[in-house]
Structure 1
């Protein structure tokens, strides 16, 4: 598997390639959008529908990064979330979160129909269940809160279509699943023309509130939207308020096809949905327990656990496997809106906590309104990107930033080899070479690929992603190819090359 190859994702491998040009020269539009995932492309489509000109600037290829590596559930059922939101934000704000998710599901279906996008949208119930008596009361509470917030929730006991018994489940009706790469790419195809643009292979290397600069061109605009998973650089300080997590994903053929979308309430977490391929094969799209990016031992353990769990569905060998990343917000709600309370910064959206399909679409609906000068969007009462709630997430803030401190001072030199010669083929390590922290991988031919192990975002030490063969930053989630090239930020500069040969 090539380092950073996005076609290890089932969704990307089963979608036609996009062919948008690279940014060149000077472009002027109403709104510039950095990032071509579900947030950026949906925001652009909504703005164009409002009569605005837009330019999407995507560092790699549209729809093929985080969105194209998701499990692709269109659902407001986000495991056990609503009782948490009600406790932290109150009933009225928790209801706004619920309304936003349901509205996002409807908006996705509307956009696909309105623009002729074929994305395998299929209505499907969503379940959060437990097999542990200790979580039954939690499921019952989630149903009670969700119903009070106006969500289509019911309590189910017994059979929910899984190949094993469950004690209780919350079921949401009116949900759906889809093909994420085809959806985003299909919407993107509708954007160019009449003063609007989509640019690929165009990484932002500099930015201002009215300007985006790449190595080959510049976009000037009235507003800049950072639809980049985590805002680039240190914009808004979200790297200290949203913490990266990685999830193992396996796609494998299955004989026992579940009639819904599922996730359990206890740990280890297991999520599953199915997709029927054009050749008639039905695949499980399954995700497992999250882990810290770049922590190889946890990665191996969680992939092994997920593979074992899939045996319940009479699964065949894994056809695809990859690691996806997202960010957990410190107080359980995403950060969406202006990065500065003075509204002289950037429009941002981050911290979707692995529920980026509905949250990403809801974010686009908010951002499009804000970019056109509309203030006071009701959903901002819970999503406001400038909110400060230290009491809601203070303990987690301290814990996560102590972890960051350890990586900054080199406390994560856990790999055993101490020299390039000691590396076995197929092995990677972070080591000290002539006083420098070096990230090295020896491929199957014996060639060593070595780069600086110091993340260019804020100086943490990167860790090895064995599945995707990338270097991932445990502190703030930046990912790098073997060559050191950035896959996604907040970093925008590559890791320095040390040696190849």
Structure 2
């Protein structure tokens, strides 16, 4: 992915090298986002020897593409979650997410991490032409699960003085990579080893332990935690219970004090979300996100960014120039809770996936839960996040999300998007049919062609071109590939088949 977020100038463990041979530890953590590094931190604090390994740079994945809202509620509305999971399970979910925010606050204090962490209010406000009863239903549901909420009228946006609003106290935000840089240093000081640019090919149980295989060596461990955004240890079953969505974010300069420091999000579909980040010279950054869509089902980023900017400038006239724009991918689950715990069918492999738009709190909650399970302890959240669960009340969501895969495979009988590679302009990617095969074709700025199979190396879904991020997206399960066909996001681990 080629866009750069506001956070990416901060490097996490810049001295980390690649794995060069075989190694041993108590726990191998695959993935170095907030889930992986938080897991390493919790485990090394409990006396375990830990190695963290990543296919790219440390914390260079989806954690570096977040908007960094720390909102300990259900991102898809508490009222929706209660319909599927009931009041008690939803209460436990909200408690676990709040505990994750508390843990971030505690860690940044204990380790003296300067990461702009602050507690603030969150505001859910009525969207344009949206009924007020959504606010009423959400307030009733939030109160039913015991979370603090207050009903108001108006938010400090132009034309929103009479919108119906819910205020949630003690939400939070921070700079995610400054935080992870501090946590990674604390891990390193306690003996945790980090390996970057070391793609993992396979994670298998072997002789009562776990074997992590890479092209450059192996890690033999007693346990492994797969924290790769989307699991690489499970081939198919869990992935049928998740769906990838792409989301877009723009950062603008804004005069300090022009907008109260808080989290804001509306009830539109797809919804918008807004937050501030401290800047310099009396200027801050305002992050505006939204315009989500199913991954691979649209290639119109420019139009989506234009709509985001128009929405933001209408509501917040004080906005200055744009400073950054980027996109990320969230992995929604059919019942809105992540899949965290022992990988079904395994004894010593654990997973953390399914952020459902709350990857930061899911990552930290997952670290707390998986650490307890590895230590042989029971935990009150383990049934809530059990990876093997079958959420029967989410059957409608299951069918709707998996219809993507059915439609996707039907694309193999459709014509190509171009009839010849000669039709490709520089910087353009498109699907070409050659006989029975579909080819993912890209012509770079030098005019060189890059031709690979259009079949995802995970389970064979038909890839789609993403012109904004200059990569190939899999609509089924969220894999991404660069122009050479090398996977840059799980669950795929194998490169695309090259085409002459």
SS at match of 2:309: helix
Question: Is the contact between residue 236 and residue 339 of structure 1 (CA under 8 Å) also seen in structure 2?
Answer: no
Q: Residue 321 in 1 paired to residue 325 in 2?
A: yes
1:11 is displaced (CA, Å) by: 0.7
Q: Residue 338 in 1 paired to residue 328 in 2?
A: no
Quick one: which of 338, 358, 365 aligns to 2:361? 358
**TM-score, normalization: structure 1?**
0.92
Structure 1 residues 294 and 333, CA gap change in structure 2 (3 angstroms):
same
Pairing of 1:349-498 with structure 2 (within 5 A): 349-375=352-378, 377-390=379-392, 392-411=393-412, 416-433=417-434, 435-498=436-499
**TM-score, normalization: structure 2?**
0.92
Stretch moving more, 289-298 or 50-59: 289-298
- Extract unaligned runs of 5+ from structure 2: none
Q: How far does the alpha carbon of each residue in 1:367-415 deviate from its partner, in whole angstroms, 9 at most, with x for none?
A: 110111112x11223222121123x222222233232122224359686
Match of 1:197 in 2: 193
Question: Is the contact between residue 80 and residue 142 of structure 1 (CA under 8 Å) also seen in structure 2?
Answer: no
SS at match of 1:125: strand
1:435 is displaced (CA, Å) by: 4.1
Structure 1 residues 155 and 346, CA gap change in structure 2 (3 angstroms):
same
Stretch moving more, 218-227 or 377-386: 377-386
RMSD: 2.2
1:202 is displaced (CA, Å) by: 1.2
Stretch moving more, 94-103 or 329-338: 329-338
Stretch moving more, 448-457 or 190-199: 190-199
Question: Is the contact between residue 62 and residue 184 of structure 1 (CA under 8 Å) also seen in structure 2?
Answer: no
Q: Residue 264 in 1 paired to residue 259 in 2?
A: no
Stretch moving more, 88-97 or 231-240: 231-240
Distance 1:207 1:79 in 2: 31
Distance 1:422 1:393 in 2: 44
Question: Is the contact between residue 321 and residue 467 of structure 1 (CA under 8 Å) also seen in structure 2?
Answer: no
Distance 1:412 1:185 in 2: 48
- Extract unaligned runs of 5+ from structure 1: none
Q: Residue 285 in 1 paired to residue 323 in 2?
A: no
Question: Is the contact between residue 416 and residue 438 of structure 2 (CA under 8 Å) also seen in structure 1?
Answer: no
1:299 is displaced (CA, Å) by: 3.8
Q: Residue 163 in 1 paired to residue 158 in 2?
A: yes
SS at match of 2:312: helix
Distance 2:182 2:163 in 1: 41
Distance 2:132 2:90 in 1: 22
Q: Residue 223 in 1 paired to residue 223 in 2?
A: yes
Match of 1:246 in 2: 246
Structure 1 residues 323 and 357, CA gap change in structure 2 (3 angstroms):
same
